[in-house]
Structure 1
Amino acid sequence: MSERSGRTTHRGGPVLLGVRHHGPGSARAVRAALEQCRPAAVLIEGPPEADELVPLAAQEGMRPPVALLAHVQDDPGRAAFWPLAEFSPEWVAMRWALAHGVPVRFIDLPAAHSLAQRDDEGTADDQEAADEVTGGQEARSGAEARIDPIGVLAEAAGYDDPERWWEDVIEHRGSGGAGADALAPFAALAEAMGALRETYGDGGHDRDPAREAHMRLRLRAARREFGDDLAVVCGAWHVPALARRTTLTADRQLLKGLPKVKTAVTWVPWTHRRLSRRSGYGAGIASPGWYGHLFSAPDRPVERWLTKVAGLLREEDYAVSSAQVIEAVRLAEGLATVRGRPLAGLTELDDAVRAVMGDGTDAPSSLIHDRLVVGEVLGEVPEDAPAVPLQQDIDRSRRTLRLKPEVLERELELDLRKETDAGRSRLLHRLRLLGIPWGEPTRSRGSTGTFRETWRLRWEPELAVRVAEAGIWGTTVLSAATAKAASEAAGAAGLAEVTALAERCLLAELPDALPVVMQALADRAALDADVGHLAQALPALVRSVRYGDVRGTDAAALREVATGLAERVFVGLPPACLGLDADGAAEMRGHLDATHQAVGLLGRPESERQAGGELRARWAGVLRAVSERDAVPGLLRGRATRLLLDDGELGDGGAERLMALALSPGNPPTDAAGWIEGFAGGGDGGMLLVHDARLLALVDGWLTGVPDAAFTDVLPLLRRTFAEYETGVRRTLGELVRRGPATAPRHPVGDAPDAAVPGFGPGLDRDRAAAVLPTLRMLLGIGQHGFDDEQPDPSRPAGDSRPADDLTGART
């Protein structure tokens, strides 16, 4: 070491700092080494195209975790990420260099080459290079041929868990105290990796030779520019290759002929969850929240961690005292001593929390894992970071609408009558149409009105790639969504696709795209003669008309198409119901229900009351035709009868007549069982039988008369029908069948029985009605506040001498 211009330098050539990506111990060691060496430039493993983006890392608006995103300009879907957290050695080196005015250069293989070499599985070279822990983590593809360097070293040290060995040796290692050589750990790790490279060569990483050749070329260029006073931060696995002497010609030969594409690079927000191996991105750490804690709290990490755990559990209404925190610290440290660990790790801390704070259960474990071990951190990037025009427009829109990307999933309730909420809905619907699912619509819990929408929002880092992909459609969200909708309408294969697209265009309020979609819809509707397709397309059209009314959008043309489509369904449905097998009948039943609901919605607006009434009348005629044709499967005849009954289209005794015909002995039992399934199937069918004694008696009588030979055939159908009823409904039906026919009601002497409501019992039982009068008097205070039965009753006719109880019972 020597002193030169106030800088302590290393005179032996470039300092190679081999690290494990996203390792807090490596990050602290890199910072200490840079403070000791004070290099003239810092070289970092990463795509050289990102050199110009380095100054953004020093801005206040940059908050890790973040990632470098590189994508092919003409094909944004071909992309790669280089994630960086606050405890990543590369991030620490970058921030140290910016703070000390030291130039930073990225030296890995350019993204232009690595993205051009993307394999068939969609994994780019540099995606693997960025995500794998060179010197640590198992490879994600070709794992059979690739070695795990940390696993080999851990096995040599007598550990069965590579992660535990790395934590004991690196992450839990102290700074070594004042005066310690900060380069010693890197020298020891380089020696270990050198031995592994001598034994295993490239270890199955067949693309590493080209990457390492490019690193050596960039290192030579940096030495010519800055001299030997350099620090290189790279994966420990690459250190022996960078230290090896090679010729310039040999390195260039390894890079000769590599494919190349035009790329764009920017910073994007990242999350701790995406740093976790469990999320699908093998970033080398299963516990980014824990590693962030180790990096930010090097002193007393056990005590600080368990304090965080206690605070979290208290927020979730767990009773955790200070004494329990102290006891958990002692237990974790004791377990670490018994197990021969320098510091309590997550295993010991989890055991301590389970024993002391969890009362021996795993109840709080998943909460602690999600909120602390993995963490819920979303990074931020400056507003002036390079971005495609579409991303810039999205950012402007979300700021105007006060929508902030969040890593946690949350529900957003929108009232479409409010301007801001309507704008939020438009933005979210347009983004979904562009394939950017920032939000997913879900069922509203508080209201079923069409003026309300509920969205489940969650921002994922890969949405940045989706935005780049959608950028080919336009520079703004509106223009891009319009262009894509028009393109999808032209290329749609079926009628249902176009109707669904029309609904999405209406929800997203794309006035310029809707005429194109409507023309495509009219063309396909005119050519499609399949009733199933028409019936499948009708509900989406009707929903579009309904939402158009709510949003103030002119949907008159859409209503015309929907009405015309409904009329075509009316004509073609009865013939289409003939000769269907069981599967076909079940599918047609769904079309029957969907069309029935759609017709009801089409007739709702006040201005179209007459037209809507005519439409419903025609639909009732179609249902009658289906319900009375013997060639139609029983399932469909029963369903049509039920729909007519619910709409009040059957006269007195109409349902009983159709049911009696369907359940007559001349019909096959399986067809009769299908009729019952269509008529009484579904969750509300049971209540109909509970309240209509005549229909229940018909079903009961038919069932008791089914021959033994046919009973086993109809049993599965009946069981499927009645299994859909709630437990209480089934119990009530069983009780009604057990009682048998209802007995005649008792009436006071001289009184005529009240008229019975058809199907709903024999009439009012006055004795049972009078039994509730004492309770009613007590609740209403009659007889306690000066009211009694002797007071005149204004509702009693003149000359009526019947007892007051009798009159009250009649009124009840």
Structure 2
Amino acid sequence: MAVTFLGVRHHSPACAREVQRTIERLRPAHVLVEGPVDFTDRVDELLLGHTLPVAVYTYYRDGQRVHASWTPLCEYSPEWVAITTGRAVGAQVRFIDLPAWHPAFAGRDNRYADAETRYAEIVERLCREFAVDTVDVLWDHLVEVAPDDDLAPRLTAYFDLLRGDSAAGEQDRAREEYMASWVRAAAADAGDRPVVVVTGGFHTPALRVLAGSGDREWPEAPAPPPGSEGASYLVPYSYRRLDAFSGYQSGMPSPEYYHWLWTGGVAGAATALTEAVTRGLRARHQPVSTADLIAARTLAEGLARMRGHELTARTDVLDGLLGALVSEDLPQPPPWSRRGPLPLGTHPAVVEMVAALSGDREGALHPDTPAPPLVGATDVELSRLRLDHGGEVRLDLADPVDLERSRALHRLRVLEIPGFTVRSSDTALAFVERWLLRPDDNRGPALIEAAVHGATLADASAAVLGARVAPADAPGLAALLVDARLCGIVTLYTGVVDALADSVAQVSALADLGDVLTEVLGLWRHDRIFGTAGSPALGQVLDAAVTRVLWLVEGLHGGPEPAERGRLSTLAATRDTVRHAAAALGVGAEAAVDVLRRVAADLAAPPDVRGAAFGFGWSLGLPVDVVTAARGMTAPDTMGDWLAGLFALARAEVLGDPEVVAVLDDAVTALSDHDFLLALPALRQAYGYFPPAERETIARLLLDRRGSAASARSVVHTAVDPSVVSAAMALERAVDAVLSREGLA
């Protein structure tokens, strides 16, 4: 009996051909494949007739962690070819690696991430030796475009050098010892017949040694620990998810190119790549002439000869296209000279090349493929709630049935299941939601992958939201609070409220408290349908948040700086809380106004905060002398920011008091041209707090002061951008200054 070890690079067409040739030649009794052993008894599911690529999706959850992992397979994956060819010759085909939920895979979401990234020093030495940029170019040079007649010894030499004498880490050692136990058992069972072992090449040198001695009984597949749950299912995959240019670390970028390489050989792949890039660029209305293509081919063939390739490799074709089609300098090296996603600013032609390399192939599962319980449970629930159709759905949350439908849809939203989009929601006042439901081919795969979180929509959404509690800051907890309420997850809701009450006391940025107050106040005031209106627990959160705001705002100091919308929104939310939830607060309106009155008089406080402090009490109906304050507001570098604060909190009060509008008009009119241009950007930002209709009202008041009957709308809606007018005024002032200096005014 002989065991043949085939070390492969995952998703390598050349390795897949070697696997196919070897299995067809040896016709072994057993074909052992690196893959999740808990899926061995279900290999028939892989052969149902899916459209590749597909992946074995494995999930695991217990009280401490949730883990998900994918084992992707495409037509040219050596593992897929081992399975299909092994079955065709009558071999027993088995996966022999540990399950993906095993601690040996901790921190990894992809079984077939190559080990080369962990041994970068050796790879860098090889790249320097062969004068190539990356391991992908190196691999093409040594394997994909090289002759097949001596491929096996080259693969052995490459992986032996990659592994070297280094000891495996604890995780790899556990996997290799387990795989070796399957090899020994298969060898004992095979008798005089061969055994073929197909694993990642990094593991192959160790398996040759480990398989020589030890127990020869068939090992058992590990089971998830008590109190945990782990399972594997097939999911559709896509070439874009496989692509290293999208961040996938499978070791093989450009999956569409390697598909062409598998089906049409090196020459066919070069032709297909050129045609795909040409189609893509012409679709973008980028001219690509016949002369350009001739030049690209000539360049590619010349580069191939210079690099020692008998045929043009992937980077030869790409560099030839780049040289022929892009005449300007690139802001960064081409992406195929390194690894990782495309950076911002990548040349459009380069983007199209990478898109052609990636392709748009998407897998599809056979209808008879088993699915986890969440898929069936969701189908039943959508049918029961009459949500299994397309179109718009209007939900009245005062209706118990519609409330249940809303909760189901929000659970799907939290799980990021495509096909369910909330178009409008006003649960605070009208209690009406509108959703758009549409069919989506990705819904099934998304539900399969969401099954890691639970077997029902309620359980899965609760787990997803629960996992967000610990790392969330105060604004994040406020958003979680709303999601928990919309999903109807009562137990989680209580825990989030408690965490939020503790969190607000630690907030150091004033702007972070605005969302907290807005969300919690809405629940406290209006949420009678969900049972949170007037909640004492929410009242404690409001009290803690308002107290924290007042403490932070009194400590704000700084010179002139742009108005900050975040902190102004927080002060407006604080005002609303004092106005509407005074019964829940330990701090009364008078005490809050006293704090902000001190802030308004503190010249060391930021101008926008001082303006907001004046607006705070005024908007609550308390006596505040805003007219006197406005008359003292003359510094051009702070005027607009002060007004932004005032308008953010007391817009309606300003609009309803013509005397204040007049004082503000006088203050702006009194500015010199220089000071006006200095103040203008901040003034524009400040008046942006008024919606168009209210800006027209102010314009009407200003026109009336000047005795003008002109249209207020025409004043507000000018044909020329105000920034252009501002620039023109600045230019005129500069010209006047020059004329005056030269005595020509």
User: For this structure pair, what is the TM-score category when the shorter chain's length is used for normalisation?
Assistant: 0.5 to 0.7
Distance, in Å, in 1 between the alignment partners of 2:272 and 2:206 is 40
Q: How does 1:383-782 map to 2 (within 5 A)?
A: 388-390=372-374, 392-394=376-378, 426=407, 429-430=410-411, 436-437=415-416, 467=450, 469-471=452-454, 475-481=455-461, 499-508=478-487, 510=488, 537-544=516-523, 554=529, 557-558=532-533, 580-582=555-557, 589-596=568-575, 633=602, 636-642=609-615, 655-660=626-631, 677-680=641-644, 694-698=663-667, 723-724=681-682, 759-760=702-703, 762-765=705-708
Distance, in Å, in 1 between the alignment partners of 2:685 and 2:457 is 50
| Match in the other structure for 1:185 | 151
Q: Are 2:185 and 1:217 aligned?
A: no
Distance, in Å, in 1 between the alignment partners of 2:216 and 2:678 is 72
* Cα displacement (A) at 1:477: 0.8
Q: Are 2:113 and 1:131 aligned?
A: yes
34 and 251 in structure 1: CA distance in 2 versus 1, 3 angstrom threshold: closer
| Match in the other structure for 1:296 | 263
* Cα displacement (A) at 1:92: 1.4
395 and 641 in structure 1: CA distance in 2 versus 1, 3 angstrom threshold: same
485 and 289 in structure 1: CA distance in 2 versus 1, 3 angstrom threshold: closer
Q: How does 1:129-278 map to 2 (within 5 A)?
A: 130-133=112-115, 137-139=116-118, 147-148=122-123, 161-173=134-146, 184-190=150-156, 193=159, 200-202=164-166, 211-227=175-191, 228-244=193-209, 247-249=212-214, 261=225, 264-278=231-245
Structure 2 unaligned runs (5+)?
331-346, 689-698, 715-745
Distance, in Å, in 1 between the alignment partners of 2:545 and 2:61 is 52
Question: Tell me, what secondary structure is at the counterpart of 1:131?
Answer: coil
TM-score by length of structure 1 reads 0.61
Distance, in Å, in 2 between the alignment partners of 1:561 and 1:378 is 52
- Is the CA contact (8 Å cut-off) linking 1:354 and 1:360 kept in structure 2? no
The residue identity in structure 1 corresponding to 2:450 is V
Q: CA RMSD in A?
A: 6.2
Question: Tell me, what secondary structure is at the counterpart of 2:533?
Answer: helix
Q: Deviations over 1:328-381 (max 9, x none)?
A: 344433432344322323333233333444555763344325522234444444
- Is the CA contact (8 Å cut-off) linking 1:288 and 1:374 kept in structure 2? yes
Distance, in Å, in 2 between the alignment partners of 1:469 and 1:241 is 33
Larger radius of gyration: 1
Q: Are 2:4 and 1:31 aligned?
A: no
Question: Tell me, what secondary structure is at the counterpart of 1:558?
Answer: coil
The residue identity in structure 2 corresponding to 1:764 is G
Question: Tell me, what secondary structure is at the counterpart of 2:46?
Answer: helix
Q: Greater shift after overlay, 65-74 or 334-343?
A: 65-74
The residue identity in structure 2 corresponding to 1:290 is Y
Q: Deviations over 1:562-618 (max 9, x none)?
A: 997899799979986995442799887443222456799x8xxxxxxxx99x99xxx
16 and 536 in structure 1: CA distance in 2 versus 1, 3 angstrom threshold: closer
73 and 597 in structure 1: CA distance in 2 versus 1, 3 angstrom threshold: closer
| Match in the other structure for 2:99 | 111
Distance, in Å, in 1 between the alignment partners of 2:128 and 2:238 is 32
Q: What is the total number of aligned residue pairs between the two structures? A: 651
Distance, in Å, in 2 between the alignment partners of 1:76 and 1:465 is 18
Q: How does 1:73-92 map to 2 (within 5 A)?
A: 77-92=66-81
Question: Tell me, what secondary structure is at the counterpart of 1:582?
Answer: coil
* Cα displacement (A) at 1:476: 0.9
| Match in the other structure for 2:35 | 46
- Is the CA contact (8 Å cut-off) linking 2:31 and 2:195 kept in structure 1? yes
* Cα displacement (A) at 1:639: 1.6
Q: How does 1:280-319 map to 2 (within 5 A)?
A: 280-298=247-265, 300-319=268-287
760 and 570 in structure 1: CA distance in 2 versus 1, 3 angstrom threshold: farther
* Cα displacement (A) at 1:560: 7.4
Distance, in Å, in 1 between the alignment partners of 2:12 and 2:402 is 43
* Cα displacement (A) at 1:230: 2.6
Structure 1 unaligned runs (5+)?
1-11, 177-183, 405-412, 603-610, 664-668, 705-714, 731-755, 773-812
* Cα displacement (A) at 1:58: 0.8
Distance, in Å, in 1 between the alignment partners of 2:156 and 2:599 is 86
- Is the CA contact (8 Å cut-off) linking 2:260 and 2:269 kept in structure 1? yes
Task: Give me the identity figure in percent.
Answer: 24
Distance, in Å, in 2 between the alignment partners of 1:320 and 1:728 is 51
Distance, in Å, in 1 between the alignment partners of 2:463 and 2:209 is 54
17 and 594 in structure 1: CA distance in 2 versus 1, 3 angstrom threshold: same
Distance, in Å, in 2 between the alignment partners of 1:493 and 1:154 is 44
TM-score by length of structure 2 reads 0.66
* Cα displacement (A) at 1:239: 4.1
- The structure 1 residue matched to 2:3, chosen from 9, 14, 18, is 14
| Match in the other structure for 2:742 | none
591 and 398 in structure 1: CA distance in 2 versus 1, 3 angstrom threshold: same
Distance, in Å, in 2 between the alignment partners of 1:442 and 1:132 is 38
Distance, in Å, in 1 between the alignment partners of 2:530 and 2:155 is 70
Distance, in Å, in 1 between the alignment partners of 2:162 and 2:502 is 65
